[in-house]
Amino acid sequence: MVKKIFKIIGRIFLILLLLLILAIGVIFVVDKIMDSQAWDKLIQGGYVNTVSVNGHKMNVCIRGNKDAEFTVVSMEGLNSMANVVEMEPAIEPLKDKYCFAFVDRAGYGLSEDTHEEQTVEQVVSDCRAALEGAGLKKPYVLMGHSFGGVYSSYWEMTYPEEVKGVIYLDPTQIGSLEDISEMTEARHADFMMYATVIASKLGLDRVFFNVKEYTVNLQTDKQKEYAEAIWGLCPRTWTVCSEENNYAENVRKTAELISPNDIPKLYIDAAAYTVEDIKATMAYEKKIMEEAGVNSDDMSIPESAIDERFVESQKSFYERNIKTYIDKLGNVTYVNIPGNHSIFKHKPEEVSKAIGEFLDKLK
């Protein structure tokens, strides 16, 4: 009797396992069909321009005036897959005068994933090779958002002869050594991060991944369509895991190189320093979370906590981190545009104006 029960349970388990494998197989095939459709859409939209770099393909999307005297190179932040689509509203008014190159790092956007360790040296080397492969001329104006600012600083300090200027878009700050230690000590890719990469490679991301969370704050339906196509291709990659594992070391290496120089820099700070601006930013973030179907009730900072003491803590953060970083860099024009961390999506007109004025002075 017991053997019979175990035999039945074994058959049920086998059937369930076969059904699971079949379901994953169907999802995988459907995902590949949707990937093909996404590539067709992105090719037609002019987003695909791949070059071979170190055994893998990297995408370099070029926008604007290819005859401009320098190339503005956009460097996305960590896990930002649709950088070119997200930045387009901010660069649109500038495309007649300037050339913009959006280099998707390995495993980002339309570039192939790789198991190569994503050290700061490797990332910068790949980007330089991709630009050369795409036939884009030097000098470069580096434009780094978030952690892209760390790569921009390393690039500028290591190859100053090819850098005409640097634009920091609410970058990761490399201020005091104490704060760097606090910022980096807990960064690493955990089991769940690796698991989501495997799920993504199997096509399961299309079932469980909420693309709207990343595209809802784009301005037009066409933008959202292209961004969703890019995010759908593979939102989780091995290289992002590698960047997490190399985060602390990449920051440390860059911090050790930084010293003031005469290369012109624009630093756009998206932090808010008044009660009104902080509440306005929170209202914007709450709105996009709700539109994406994400619960906004558990926002990290309750509105009731926004008072003058909180403002003072923001100002203290500026003095300790942002100002320290600016002083270390040298020759920086500082602009405060209070808003969301992806400030180029939140306030593209203001960002465009600041970038345009900076680039005009470099000519």
Supply angle C-alpha 246, 201, 238, rounded to 5: 10
Q: Are residues 62 and 38 in the same domain?
A: no
Distance CA 11, CA 128 (A): 57
* Burial of residue 117, with CB atoms counted within 10 A of its CB: 0-12 exposed, 13-18 middle, 19 or more buried: middle
Angle, in degrees to the nearest 10, between helices 238-257 and 191-201 = 130
Q: Are residues 238 and 90 in the same domain?
A: yes
Q: Give the phi and the psi of residue 166 in degrees, each rounded to 5.
A: -135, 135
Question: What is the pLDDT at residue 181?
Answer: 59
Question: What is the pLDDT at residue 297?
Answer: 67
Q: Are residues 122 and 170 in the same domain?
A: yes
Distance CA 259, CA 320 (A): 17
Question: What is the pLDDT at residue 298?
Answer: 61
Task: Report the CATH number at residue 176.
Answer: 3.40.50.1820
* Burial of residue 212, with CB atoms counted within 10 A of its CB: 0-12 exposed, 13-18 middle, 19 or more buried: middle
**Residue type at 236?**
R
Q: Are residues 247 and 208 in the same domain?
A: yes
Q: Are residues 134 and 119 in the same domain?
A: yes
Q: Are residues 272 and 203 in the same domain?
A: yes
7 is in which domain, residue-wise? 1-44
- From 81, 130, 337, 12, select the one nearest 229 (Cα to Cα): 81
What parts of the chain have a pLDDT lower than 50? none
Question: What is the pLDDT at residue 199?
Answer: 83
Q: Are residues 22 and 72 in the same domain?
A: no
Q: Are residues 320 and 349 in the same domain?
A: yes
Q: Are residues 24 and 122 in the same domain?
A: no
Q: Are residues 284 and 206 in the same domain?
A: yes
Q: Give the phi and the psi of residue 268 in degrees, each rounded to 5.
A: -100, 115
DSSP for 129-195, written as a single string: HHHHHTTPPSPEEEEEETTHHHHHHHHHHH-GGGEEEEEEESPPP---HHHHHHHHTT----HHHHH
Q: Are residues 118 and 153 in the same domain?
A: yes
Q: What is the pLDDT of residues 224-233, one digit of tens each?
A: 999 999 998 8
Distance CA 287, CA 38 (A): 28
Question: What is the pLDDT at residue 250?
Answer: 93
Q: Judge whether 227 and 82 are in contact, CB under 8 Å.
A: yes
Q: Are residues 79 and 100 in the same domain?
A: yes
Number of structural domains in the chain: 2
